[in-house]
Amino acid sequence: DIQMTQSPSSVSASVGDRVTITCRASQDINSWLAWYQQKPGKAPKLLIYAASSLQSGVPLRFSGSGSGTDFTLTISSLQPEDCATYYCQQANSFPRTFGPGTKVDIK
Amino acid sequence: EVQLVESGGGLVQPGGSLRLSCAASGFTFSIFNMNWVRQAPGKGLEWVSYISSSSSTIYYADSVKGRFTISRDNAKNSLYLQMNSLRDEDTAVYYCARGTTVTVYGMDVWGQGTTVTVSS
């Protein structure tokens, strides 16, 4: 199975700051990586697919990059509504696996 | 409106069974692959199972293999998860999630979740 790791586990930043989250796969997953945002008590929401493609309706301040084993999610200017936990997920093979999550909050 | 609505969760004793349902609306259910994903209290997301649009391809997480069965009824726009031999560690919110049209793109529509509690 492909193991996914994320760093940091949590980040606290000010409104307007640039926030970067890293995700690493235990083996090459090409560009088949998705990012999800989950707010407390809510279902996850797809933000990015295929490592860098923005899902329809997602604000342009979100972006993704990477391929192979190393990926990043960047929030270019953090907004209060971005407080959430962010998960990466590999879609290259089954079983699908998620990273442990990164909690983002406002300083 | 594209929507997935789960039902069937509840309290069950260890070793018991439960059947979850997911009703789809607002899209052509029969052409989409579907998934179940769960989240234990205070924990991260765990993928549970996948079924292709025609039910020809099915996968399970090792943690549920042999105990859970995924199925679907395209005529009823419904997805199911039969859970047998339930364990304490199966306690979680269970989400159904639609696979994107390109399988490797992820899961683009999620239900609100249904809570399963396994406890004596």
- pLDDT single digits (tens) A14-25: 999 999 999 999
CB B89 within 8 A of CB B73: no
Q: Cα separation of B63 and A5, whole Å?
A: 19
The answer to whether B63 touches B88, Cβ cutoff 8 Å, is no
Nearest Cβ partner for B44 among A55, A94, A100 = A100
Least CA distance to A35: which residue of chain B? Answer: B106
Structural tokens at position A60 = 């342009």
**CA angle in degrees (0–180, nearest 5) for A35-A14-A52:** 20
Would you give per-residue pLDDT tens digits along chain B (120 residues)?
A: 999 999 999 999 999 999 999 999 999 999 999 999 999 999 999 999 999 999 999 999 999 999 999 999 999 999 999 999 999 999 999 999 999 888 888 999 999 999 999 999
Residue ranges of chain A whose CB lies within 8 Å of a chain B CB? 1, 32, 34, 36, 38, 42-46, 49-50, 53, 55, 87, 89, 91-92, 94-101
